[in-house]
Amino acid sequence: MQGYFLYFRAMETLDNRKKVEVCFSPYLFPLYKEEFDIIVVIDVLRATSAICAAFNNGVKELIPVPTIEEAKEYQEKGYLVGAERKGQIVEGFDFGNSPYSYMIDSVKGQTVVLSTTNGTKSINIAKDAGQVVIGALSNLDTLNDWLVRQNKNILCLCSGWQNKFNLEDTICAGAILDHLLATGNYRSEEDSSIAAKYLFLSAKDNIFGYLKASSHRRRLKNLNLNEDIKFCLTPNTAPVIPVLKGDRLVAIEADVLI
């Protein structure tokens, strides 16, 4: 039987295609983090959608911070600071993570600080494992084209909800996976990746309807955030590539190789 194993490993070694995989939650990230060059951090409702909207609206830099304490420190230094917990703006901050907060004139050319329940935590745990890039449905096609050009090992890290799996991030990851696999230059092995692709394929013709039952959509709907949800679930509203450089996100041109 050992022979089969060796044959299998040998075939894997001969396969030159790069890997693209999906991790369902930051909690599971320690099981996946080896061997990836690029980590696509995804938090569709709403952090990474808001980040894409911000850069598309001319925000200069965005500093993601995991804790409210750090957000406060930046606020005291005079920065514009967004902070969200459990779907709501934290008292005393300029805004939360509604994309619309970042689509106003006063943020153009500014450095903005952001702390959210799930998204900025994912950025924080991913940053030592590989090059962080921001993914959302908002920048899907632009991101996909950019990722194809990179030809690196890619992990899609879904931010989930309080460390648990969520549907909207998984479907976004599935859309990325589906695009990369179709090029023939990428492969994936994990069942989480196969499932993300299956879920995307059954959702793609009606993402809004498919996610009707999703827990986070229900949660935001109860907070009267339907306009935000519609914006975040609409693909390709913000053709930007936000990447982490040092402690801050900046938008790079779509032809830059990293």
Report the interface residues with a copy of itself, using CB under 8 A. 1, 4-5, 7-8, 24-25, 27-28, 31-32, 88, 161-167, 170, 189-192, 194-195, 198-199, 202, 213-216, 222-224
Q: To the nearest whole angstrom, how small is the minimum distance from the Cβ of residue 215 to a copy of itself? A: 5
Supply the minimum distance, in Å, between the C-beta of residue 223 and a copy of itself: 6
Residue among 160 and 242 whose Cβ is closer to a copy of itself: 160
Whole-angstrom distance, CA of residue 59 vs CA of residue 103: 9
CB of 122 to a copy of itself, least distance (A): 16
Least distance to a copy of itself, CB of residue 221, Å: 9
The bridge status of strand 241-245 relative to strand 88-89 is: unpaired
3-class secondary structure, 249:
strand
Distance of closest approach, residue 108 Cβ to a copy of itself, in angstroms? 28
Contact 177, 188 (CB under 8 A): yes
> What is the token pair recorded at 194?
């196969």
**Strand ranges (E), the chain:** 18-23, 38-42, 61-64, 80-85, 88-89, 111-115, 131-135, 154-158, 186-187, 241-245, 248-252
Q: Three-state DSSP class for 186? A: strand
| Nearest residue (CB) to a copy of itself, 91 versus 253 | 91
> How wide is the angle at C-alpha 168 spanned by C-alphas 146 and 21, nearest 5°?
50
**Least distance in angstroms from the C-beta of 87 to a copy of itself:** 9
| Distance separating alpha carbons of residues 208 and 133, to the nearest angstrom | 25
Nearest by Cα to 45 from 148, 167, 129: 167
d(CA 48, CA 41): 8
- Between 150 and 162, name the residue whose CB sits nearer to a copy of itself: 162
Q: CA-to-CA distance for 225 and 169, rounded, in angstroms? A: 18
Q: How far is it, in rounded angstroms, from Cα 75 to Cα 169?
A: 29
C-beta closer to a copy of itself: residue 167 or 238: 167
- Beta strands 80-85 and 88-89 are antiparallel
User: 64 or 96, CB closer to a copy of itself?
Assistant: 96
Nearer to a copy of itself, 187 or 248 (CB): 187
Q: Supply the minimum distance, in Å, between the C-beta of residue 67 and a copy of itself.
A: 20
Q: Which is nearer to a copy of itself, 28 or 250 (CB)?
A: 28
